[in-house]
Chains A and B, each alone.
Chain A
């Protein structure tokens, strides 16, 4: 089984400041990693994903994340945030193979609030 921990439930950041949203996971098997964003009253939208290869992954809207296998982390970063980045951010994992490898396991989310 897999689990995902997002320690920061809320992160307030001033506009144009950098931000890092933390994600740690636990799994007995290899996993793929994902970050999704959820704007108010909307579904989830994929920001970026790590499947294999380079551990630094670039996504949409200027976000990037780095996979660290030894620390079982996949932290999300953006060098300069905008008001429009205000949203809930979810980290998720799925096994790379085997029965149930399509199932996403999500963290509890981090609410990012941008302060003008």
Chain B
């Protein structure tokens, strides 16, 4: 496995601009997660996909945020009309299909995309 990759690693944008981040999960991981981490805090769940289906969205994910995983492989997270409060590290994680025992499998995290909104 090459690990979860995220691009870009850093993004600086002006308030009001749109930004898009990409996440490539570990191959054959059917679950993909997005988290947001602000300074001094732990990661907070945003949304997750099983294959191409988006199964849950946090209330943190306002209407300006949209995530897609069109072919069940890579995912994109778009933020429209960025605000200074959107400045954070955006983390992506992936996991394998659940075992028959129902145990939640380990989530493997990417290095994150650090967004700075000026």
- Residues of chain A touching chain B, judged by Cβ–Cβ distance below 8 Å, are 4, 9, 32, 36, 41-46, 49, 51, 90, 92, 94, 96-97, 99-109
B44 neighbours in A (Cβ, 8 Å): 106
A56 to B109, CA, bound (A): 25
| The residue from A32, A100, A106 contacting B42, defined by CB atoms under 8 A apart | A106
Q: Does B110 interact with chain A (Cβ within 8 Å)?
A: yes
Q: Which of B32-87 contact A (CB under 8 A)?
A: 33, 35, 40-45, 48, 56
B107 within 8 A of A: yes
Question: How many residues of B are in contact with the other chain, CB < 8 A?
Answer: 25
Q: Knowing that A32-B104, A43-B112 touch, tell me 20 more A-B residue pairs with CB under 8 angstroms.
A: A4-B42, A32-B103, A43-B4, A43-B111, A44-B91, A45-B109, A46-B106, A51-B103, A97-B102, A100-B56, A102-B31, A102-B33, A102-B104, A103-B48, A104-B35, A104-B43, A104-B45, A106-B44, A109-B40, A109-B41
Residues of A within 8 A of B111 (CB): 41-43
A49 to B43, CA, bound (A): 17
Please, could you name 20 A-B residue pairs with CB atoms under 8 Å apart, sorted by A?
A4-B42, A32-B104, A36-B109, A43-B4, A43-B109, A43-B111, A45-B109, A51-B103, A90-B42, A94-B104, A102-B33, A102-B48, A102-B107, A103-B33, A104-B43, A104-B107, A106-B42, A108-B40, A108-B42, A109-B41
B residues near A106, Cβ cutoff 8 Å = 42-44
Give CA–CA (A9, B40) in the complex, Å.
9
A84 to B91, CA, bound (A): 23
**A44: shortest Cβ distance to chain B, in Å?**
4
Closest chain A residue, CB of each to CB of B58: A103
Bound-state CA distance A108–B48 (Å) is 21
Q: Determine the residue in chain B with the shortest Cβ distance to A99.
A: B56
Complex interface: chain B residues within 8 A of A44 (CB): 43, 91, 93, 109
A10 to B117, CA, bound (A): 28
In the assembled complex, the Cα of A51 lies from the Cα of B44 at a distance in Å of 21
B7 shortest CB reach to chain A, Å: 13
Q: Contacts A102-B33, A102-B48 given: A43-B40 contact, CB under 8 Å?
A: no
Closest to B92 in A: A43
